Amino acid sequence: MTKNEFALAFNEVLEEKQLPKEVILQALESAMVSAYRRAMMASSAQHVEAKVDPETGLVLVFAEKEVVESVQDARTEVTLEDAQKVNPEAQINDMVVVESTPKDFGRVAAQTARQVIQQRIREAERSAQTTYYERQLGEIVSGVVQAVNNQGATIGMDMKAEGVLPANQKIPGEKFRIHDRVRAIVLEVKDSGRGPQIVLSRSHRNFLRRLLENEVPEIYHGIVEIRNISREPGQRAKVAVSATQAGVDPVGACVGVRGVRIQAIVKELHDEKIDIIEWNADPVIYISKAISPARVSGVFLNDTGDGGKTATVVVQEDQLSLAIGRDGQNARLAAKLTGWRIDIKSIVEAATDTLGKLQSNPDLAEQAEAEKGNIHQIEEILAKKAETRPVTPEEYLTLTHFVDRVEKRSIERQRAEQQAEEERIGTARAEIPAAAFEMPLEELGLSEHVYNILTEASYHTVGDIILAMKLEPDKVLGLSGIGPKAMQSIEKAIAEVKYPELVVVEVPLEVVTEVPAVEEQALTEVEPAVESALEIEVPVVEETEEQAAKTFEEMFTLRPEIIQTAGAADDDDKKDKKGKKKKSVALEFDEERGAVVGKKQHKRADGEWDAEW
């Protein structure tokens, strides 16, 4: 093969396989090594390497051999004269790497290394595919359907890779035919002996996210942000969006002019209905919008603090079925979108439940007394509804206001109780040494049985169990396996616990900044009225006791750039920004008080100064 023929063939392989030049060269060299070992029956322990010139196709093989005086086996031995041509410092019994290319090796290698080269290139292709598609995780890829069966569809993609679209990752109701072009996201990439297994998905919610990023430039550039997505593929999806810049309508940007943008996504998703709602930091407003297209009369939140977040949504009777949706789909998607458990009630049902709570719950006795004048009217309206008599809009409005008043008062009472409980816990915690919450529970020296029970109940430090014993001793006693004797052992261990003492290091007070000596000549230039004072131009403020207690040394650590002599502040024409004259304060050390005090200076008409402490 001539120089041009080899170079053309080499470049053709590069273009066909879409692999780096180094990968193909490495595969060729590895194949040459395998061919040499097979042709020369060389041991696998012998170091052999090959070099291939990509321009000429020249192959050189180098093998490690032992330097000997007389060669018995040319495969593993070399004479001292030949070894010193490669390494002049070679000696007998040394190991050197010398050229060992057999005669007519190119033709032999072509016959024996073909399979090795193909295998190496195939492995390189698979590695490149795996690397490429691992970077594409979560991104949209496009491909052509190559085969369809009950388990899913096989998609041919870039780099001659094949992806699998399982049946459970397809949008329900859509069918593919061979040669159809399909878009999906890369859900998972698994490496196997037969190449990467690329799992695709069209039902994942991130597929909708990527479609929105592609169709809506504002989302792609970060002007509009997707807050959350809840989706039931092929049926309905809800997307919460918000704007990161003022004056931008996030919903309008996603919908587009006459719905052009959203319609393109709906068509891609097999006519899946998509609700675009505006995200809001207020859960009440957010949940109200998440229930759309139904109109909401009221939203009442009940956050217990232990992860049980429930929102009661009240709607008019004609909006009830719309709010719930087919098979509860609308309510279910709204709950996934907002993260709240949503309980939807009609206004009549909500009023009936609220009235029942007022009449039966003793904790609501105060509210029941406040609503005493309205309860009779509410009962009459509910009776009319039960008898299927017509109820006027005004009466529905009365029910709405009744539910709103009672529910809001109940929520306020619950918040007050939670706040009181938090304050009670905070007060009890303050009485416990902070070191107790740093000490592990085993420091109490309890029996292994009691220790295991407490740790399983999430008491991990001494402070945790002391706090529980202060607040809820019955809760500790109620743990399975904890009896009166165990409680006594816990109380005794708590009483005997000793906390590590804090080591207090006393640091002697030293003068950080020394006061430079004032030259005698400079003192003679200072006006007599302020010879003993350094005057600072500051607004007059009343000193607190803490400020007056500063030591003489501390006052002289002030920055020198804010200190000036009386001559610099003698000009009474100085004014502040508002046009008012600044008042001067002289700082002097009072021997009777033992502290530095401020002395306010007033300039009289005759040019003299009056001092006021």
Which tokens go with 549? 């207690």
CATH of the domain at 170: 2.40.50.140
The answer to whether position 463 is within a domain reads yes
Q: Are both 9 and 107 inside the same structural domain?
A: yes
The answer to whether position 513 is within a domain reads no
Nearest Cα neighbor of 216 from 272, 262, 267, 275 is 262
Is the alpha carbon torsion for 535, 537, 538, 539 positive or negative?
Answer: positive
Q: Domain boundary residue among 392, 419, 446?
A: 419
In whole angstroms, give the CA distance from residue 32 to residue 34.
5
In whole angstroms, give the CA distance from residue 607 to residue 238.
81
Only one residue has tokens 């006006």, namely 527
Q: Are both 80 and 162 inside the same structural domain?
A: no
Q: Are both 295 and 386 inside the same structural domain?
A: yes
In whole angstroms, give the CA distance from residue 239 to residue 232.
12
Instruction: List Cβ neighbours of 77 (8 Å cut-off, separation of 6 or more).
Output: 65, 66, 67, 68, 71
The H-assigned helical ranges of 90-145 are 105-112, 114-135
Which tokens go with 419? 């706040």
Q: Are both 63 and 7 inside the same structural domain?
A: yes
What domain count does the chain have? 5
Q: Are both 477 and 557 inside the same structural domain?
A: no
In whole angstroms, give the CA distance from residue 30 to residue 41.
16
Q: Domain boundary residue among 120, 150, 183?
A: 120
User: Coil, helix or strand for 431?
Assistant: coil
Order of all β-strands in the sheet with 341-346: 298-303, 309-315, 341-346
Omega before 293 within 30 of 0, i.e. cis? yes
pLDDT in the model for residue 592: 59
Q: Which structural domain range is residue 589 located in? A: 520-612
The answer to whether position 339 is within a domain reads yes
Instruction: Tell me how crowded residue 28 is: count the other CB atoms within 10 A of its CB.
Output: 24
Is the alpha carbon torsion for 375, 377, 380, 384 positive or negative?
Answer: negative
The answer to whether position 501 is within a domain reads no
- In terms of C-beta distances under 8 Å and separation of at least 24 residues, what long-range contacts does 563-566 make, across chains too? 563/534, 563/536, 564/534, 564/535, 564/536, 564/537, 565/526, 565/530, 565/534, 565/535, 566/526, 566/527, 566/529, 566/530, 566/533, 566/535
In whole angstroms, give the CA distance from residue 51 to residue 440.
65
pLDDT along the chain (613 residues), means of 10: 63 72 80 82 85 79 88 85 85 87 70 71 84 92 93 90 92 90 93 84 94 93 94 93 92 91 92 93 94 91 73 91 92 94 92 86 78 84 88 89 86 82 86 85 84 86 86 83 84 80 52 45 41 41 45 43 41 45 54 57 49 47
What is the pairing mode between strands 584-590 and 534-536?
antiparallel
Instruction: List Cβ neighbours of 176 (8 Å cut-off, separation of 6 or more).
Output: 145, 148, 153, 182
Q: Are both 308 and 414 inside the same structural domain?
A: yes
pLDDT in the model for residue 60: 85
The answer to whether position 272 is within a domain reads no
The answer to whether position 234 is within a domain reads no
Q: Are both 488 and 438 inside the same structural domain?
A: yes
pTM above 0.85, yes or no: no
In whole angstroms, give the CA distance from residue 123 to residue 142.
24
In whole angstroms, give the CA distance from residue 157 to residue 378.
67
Q: Domain boundary residue among 481, 496, 511?
A: 496
- In terms of C-beta distances under 8 Å and separation of at least 24 residues, what long-range contacts does 562-568 make, across chains too? 562/536, 563/534, 563/536, 564/534, 564/535, 564/536, 564/537, 565/526, 565/530, 565/534, 565/535, 566/526, 566/527, 566/529, 566/530, 566/533, 566/535, 567/525, 567/526, 567/527, 568/535
The answer to whether position 428 is within a domain reads no
End-to-end CA distance of the chain: 108
Q: Are both 373 and 447 inside the same structural domain?
A: no
Q: Are both 388 and 467 inside the same structural domain?
A: no
The answer to whether position 227 is within a domain reads no
Beta-sheet strands, E only, within 279-402? 298-303, 309-315, 341-346
| Amino acid occupying residue 487 | M
Q: Are both 490 and 580 inside the same structural domain?
A: no
CA angle 437, 441, 443 (to 5 degrees): 100
What is the pairing mode between strands 273-278 and 298-303?
unpaired
CATH of the domain at 458: 1.10.150
In whole angstroms, give the CA distance from residue 428 to residue 401.
41
Instruction: List Cβ neighbours of 515 (8 Å cut-off, separation of 6 or more).
Output: 556
CATH of the domain at 403: 3.30.300.20
Which tokens go with 29? 């060299």
Q: Are both 337 and 314 inside the same structural domain?
A: yes
- In terms of C-beta distances under 8 Å and separation of at least 24 residues, what long-range contacts does 16-21 make, across chains too? 17/121, 17/124, 17/125, 18/128, 18/159, 18/160, 19/121, 19/124, 19/125, 19/128, 21/54
Q: Are both 358 and 462 inside the same structural domain?
A: no
Which tokens go with 162? 């094949």
Which tokens go with 545? 């006791």
CATH of the domain at 27: 3.30.1480.10
| Amino acid occupying residue 451 | Y
**Helix/strand/coil percentages in the chain, nearest 5:** 45, 20, 30
